[in-house]
C-alpha cells in the first residue's frame, strides 16, 4: 500500500471514526457512549502562551511536548511560548486532582493539554475471557474516568482563570502486536476506545478541540501489522509509545492546530538573474554565471528537526507535507547536474529538472539551517531532561508522603524507607534511592530548565546564507 493510501486509511479513522478495531479481540459489552462527530478548531499556541501538558507517564516523559516545542521554536522564532510538564507516572484523572494546583493552576496556564486513560481504564480487568466481575470493574472504571475528568475540567475552569483546553484521546494499548513476552491484556484497547468517546463528549460539552490519538494510532498499527505482526507504533510494553509514536502524536496535535507547513519557499529565475517568489525569506544579491547562479537568503524560520529514530514514519504518513516544506526552485538552468553549496559547503547534487520543479531541503541534514535547528532541538531536549528530572523527584516525594507516610524532609527516614525494600530493583525502591541522591538538586534542575529554555530561544535566530548552484556535469 502506498504512503497516500495508508495516510488515507489513517485519516478515515481520524475524521469519520471508522471501526479500526474490527480485527481486534471482542470487547465485553459495555454501556454505550454517544458518538461525537463535531470538530471544534484547535487554535495554535500564540506568543506569550503558558502551556501545561497534564497526564500520566506518557506525558511525564516530556517527549511529545518537546517535539511540539521544537516545531514552535523553529517555525516561529518571534514567539516565546513556555511549555510545562504536568505529567506523573502511574497517574489517573482522579489522582491528578491532588496535585492540580501545584502542577497546573499555579503555573498560570493559558492552555492546558489533557490526556488520561491508560491507567484509568483498569487494565488488569481485561482478559481474553473476562468474568462478570471483571466486566463490572471495566464499566466502573469508565464511569469513574468520566466523573473525574469532569472534575478536573471544572477545577481548571474555576481555579486557573478558564484556560484554553485541548483534549487528547488516550494513545492505544497495543493488544494486537505479536511479542515474545506475556504482557497482553486483550480488550484493553477497546476500553481505551470507550475512554476516547468520553473525551470527545467532554470536549463537545466544553466547546473545546479534541485531538484523536487513539483512532489513528490504532489504525496504523493494524495496517502495518498486516505486513509485519511484530510492528508497533507503541513500545514493547504495549503502553508507552516509542519515538515513532511520539512523533505521530506531536504531528496529530500540530495538524489539528492547522499550523503552517511552509518553512520558506524561494523561486529563482537563473536565466534572468531574478527572484520570482520568496515566501518567509528575504532573498537578495542574485548573480548569474556561466556555471549556475548565486544568491543570499535569510529565511525567517528553521527546519523542523527530527532525529533518526522516527524517520521511518515519514514514509508512512504525510508529516513532511504537513509540517516541513523548505522549497527551493531554480528555473532557467541549462541541462545538467548541479551541486548546491550553502556558505561554501556542499549540500547535495540535483539535476536541472529537479531544481526547476522544486526541491525540499527541510530534511537535508547537510544544510546549515538544519544543523542550526538540530542545535535548538538539543538545547530543548536538555531542557526536557532537566524538567522531567525535577518533576519525577517531586512526584516521588508526594508518593512517599501519601502512600508510605514517610517524612520526606528527614534523610534518615527516607533511607530507612529505601532499606526496607528487599528487592532494590523494584520501582518504588529505585525512586526512593534517586530521591535520596537528587532531591538536593531539585531547585538546580528547575533553574537549569529555565536557562536551557532561554538558550534554545536565542539559538534559533535566523541568519543569512549564501546559496550557490554550480553545474558539475552536463
Mean pLDDT of the region 389-402: 96
| Distance (Å, whole) CA 61 – CA 65 | 9
329-339 tens-digit pLDDT: 999 999 999 99
Residues contacting residue 370 through CB under 8 Å, at least 6 positions apart: 302, 303, 305, 361, 362, 363, 364
Residue 26 maps to which CATH number? 3.40.50.1110
Average pLDDT over residues 245-260: 97
Do 285 and 310 fall within a single domain? yes
- Backbone φ, ψ for residue 273 (5° rounding): 65, 45
- Are residues 204 and 247 located together in one domain of the fold? yes
In this structure, are 252 and 320 located in the same domain?
no
For CA atoms 103, 105, 108, 113, the dihedral sign is: positive
Name the domain count of the chain. Answer: 3
% pLDDT > 90, the chain = 90
pLDDT band of 27, cuts 50, 70, 90 = very low
pLDDT band at residue 286 under the 50/70/90 scheme: very high
Q: What is the mean pLDDT of residues 393-412?
A: 96
Instruction: Quote the pLDDT of residue 18.
Output: 38
pLDDT digits (tens, 9 = 90+) for 29-82: 333 333 334 579 999 999 999 999 999 999 999 999 999 999 999 999 999 999
Supply the pLDDT for residue 38. 52
Query: Sorting pLDDT into bands at 50, 70 and 90, what band is 474?
Result: confident
- pLDDT confidence of residue 220: 97
Q: In this predicted structure, what is the pLDDT of residue 33?
A: 36
pLDDT averaged over every residue in the chain: 92
Does pLDDT of 7 surpass 70?
A: no
pLDDT band for position 308 (cuts 50, 70, 90)? low
CATH of the domain at 334: 2.60.40
C-alpha cell at position 150 = 469532569
For residues 305 and 242, membership in a common domain is answered with no
**Which helix (DSSP H) or strand (DSSP E) does residue 147 occupy?**
helix 132-159
334: left (phi over 0), alpha (psi -120 to 50) or beta: beta
Mark whether 323 and 340 lie in a shared domain: yes
Phi, psi at 191, each rounded to 5°: -60, -40
Confidence of residue 307 (pLDDT cuts 50, 70, 90): confident
Band (pLDDT 50/70/90 cuts) for residue 26 is: very low
Backbone angles phi and psi of 88, in degrees to 5: -145, 130
Same domain for 139 and 58: yes
Are residues 74 and 160 located together in one domain of the fold?
Answer: yes
- The pLDDT tens digits of the residues spanning 421-452 come to 999 999 999 999 999 999 999 999 999 999 99
Helix (H, G, I), strand (E, B) or coil at 402: helix
pLDDT of residue 412: 97
> What per-residue string of b and e applies to 254-290 under the rule 16 or more CB within 10 Å gives b?
bbbbebebbbbbbbbbbeeeebeebebbebeebebee
* Residue 255 confidence (pLDDT): 96
Q: How far apart are CA 430 and CA 113, in angstroms?
A: 29
The H or E element containing residue 79 is none
pLDDT of residue 320: 94
Which of 257, 285, 312 is the last residue before a domain boundary?
257
pLDDT of residue 430: 96
Residues 6+ apart with CB under 8 A from 31: 139, 142
User: Domain check: are 10 and 85 in the same one?
Assistant: yes
Domain boundary among 226, 257, 288: 257
Q: In terms of domains, do 318 and 343 share one? A: yes
Q: What is the pLDDT of residues 116-129, one digit of tens each?
A: 999 999 999 999 99
Q: What integer is the mean pLDDT of 20-24?
A: 38
pLDDT per residue as tens digits for the range 272-281: 999 999 999 9
Q: In terms of domains, do 44 and 90 share one?
A: yes
436 and 298 in a common domain:
no
Once rounded to an integer, what is the mean pLDDT over residues 370-389? 97
87 and 146: one domain?
Answer: yes
Return the pLDDT at 310.
74
Helices within 160-265 (DSSP H only): 188-205, 214-225, 243-257
**pLDDT given at position 420:** 96
Range of 418's domain?
Answer: 372-458
Domain boundary among 204, 227, 257: 257
Amino acid at each position: 500500500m502506498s504512503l497516500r493510501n495508508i495516510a488515507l486509511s489513517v485519516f478515515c479513522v481520524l475524521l469519520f471514526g471508522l471501526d479500526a478495531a474490527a480485527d481486534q479481540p471482542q470487547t465485553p459489552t459495555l454501556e454505550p457512549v454517544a458518538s461525537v462527530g463535531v470538530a471544534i478548531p484547535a487554535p495554535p499556541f500564540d506568543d506569550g502562551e503558558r502551556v501545561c501538558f497534564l497526564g500520566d507517564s506518557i506525558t511525564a516523559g516530556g517527549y511529545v511536548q518537546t517535539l511540539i516545542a521544537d516545531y514552535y521554536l523553529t517555525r516561529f522564532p518571534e514567539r516565546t511560548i513556555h511549555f510545562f510538564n504536568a505529567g506523573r507516572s502511574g497517574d489517573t484523572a482522579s489522582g491528578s486532582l491532588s496535585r492540580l494546583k501545584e502542577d497546573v493552576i499555579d503555573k498560570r496556564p493559558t492552555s492546558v493539554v489533557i490526556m488520561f486513560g491508560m491507567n484509568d481504564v483498569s487494565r488488569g480487568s481485561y482478559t481474553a475471557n473476562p468474568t462478570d466481575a471483571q466486566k463490572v470493574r471495566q464499566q466502573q472504571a469508565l464511569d469513574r474516568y468520566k466523573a473525574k475528568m469532569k472534575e478536573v475540567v471544572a477545577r481548571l475552569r474555576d481555579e486557573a482563570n478558564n484556560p484554553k483546553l485541548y483534549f487528547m484521546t488516550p494513545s492505544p494499548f497495543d493488544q494486537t502486536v505479536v511479542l515474545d513476552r506475556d504482557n497482553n491484556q486483550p480488550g484493553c484497547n477497546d476500553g481505551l476506545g470507550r475512554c476516547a468517546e468520553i473525551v470527545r463528549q467532554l470536549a463537545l460539552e466544553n466547546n473545546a478541540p479534541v485531538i484523536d490519538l487513539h483512532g489513528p494510532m490504532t489504525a496504523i498499527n493494524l495496517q502495518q501489522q498486516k505486513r509485519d505482526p511484530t510492528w508497533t507504533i507503541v513500545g514493547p510494553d504495549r503502553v508507552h509509545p516509542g519515538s515513532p509514536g511520539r512523533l505521530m502524536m506531536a504531528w496529530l496535535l500540530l495538524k489539528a492546530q492547522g499550523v503552517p507547513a511552509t518553512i520558506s519557499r524561494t523561486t529563482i529565475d537563473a536565466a534572468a538573474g531574478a527572484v520570482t517568489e520568496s515566501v518567509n525569506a528575504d532573498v537578495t544579491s542574485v548573480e548569474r554565471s556561466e556555471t549556475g547562479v548565486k544568491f543570499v537568503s535569510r529565511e525567517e524560520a528553521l527546519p523542523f528537526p527530527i532525529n533518526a529514530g522516527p524517520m521511518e514514519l515519514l514514509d508512512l504518513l504525510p508529516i513532511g507535507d504537513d509540517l516541513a516544506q523548505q522549497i527551493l526552485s531554480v528555473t532557467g538552468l541549462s541541462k545538467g547536474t548541479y551541486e548546491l553549496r550553502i556558505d561554501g559547503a556542499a549540500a547535495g547534487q540535483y539535476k536541472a529538472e529537479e531544481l526547476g520543479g522544486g526541491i525540499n531541503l527541510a530534511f537535508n541534514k547537510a544544510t546549515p539551517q538544519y544543523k542550526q535547528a538540530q542545535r535548538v532541538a538539543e538545547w530543548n531536549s536538555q531542557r526536557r531532561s532537566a524538567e522531567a528530572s525535577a518533576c519525577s523527584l517531586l512526584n516521588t516525594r508526594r508518593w512517599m508522603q501519601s502512600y508510605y507516610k514517610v517524612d520526606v524532609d528527614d534523610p534518615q527516614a527516607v533511607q530507612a524507607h529505601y532499606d526496607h525494600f528487599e528487592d532494590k530493583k523494584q520501582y518504588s525502591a529505585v525512586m526512593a534511592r534517586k530521591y535520596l541522591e537528587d532531591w538536593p538538586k531539585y531547585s538546580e534542575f528547575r533553574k537549569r530548565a529555565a536557562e536551557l529554555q532561554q538558550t534554545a530561544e536565542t539559538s534559533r535566530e535566523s541568519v543569512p546564507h549564501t546559496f550557490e548552484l554550480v553545474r558539475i556535469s552536463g
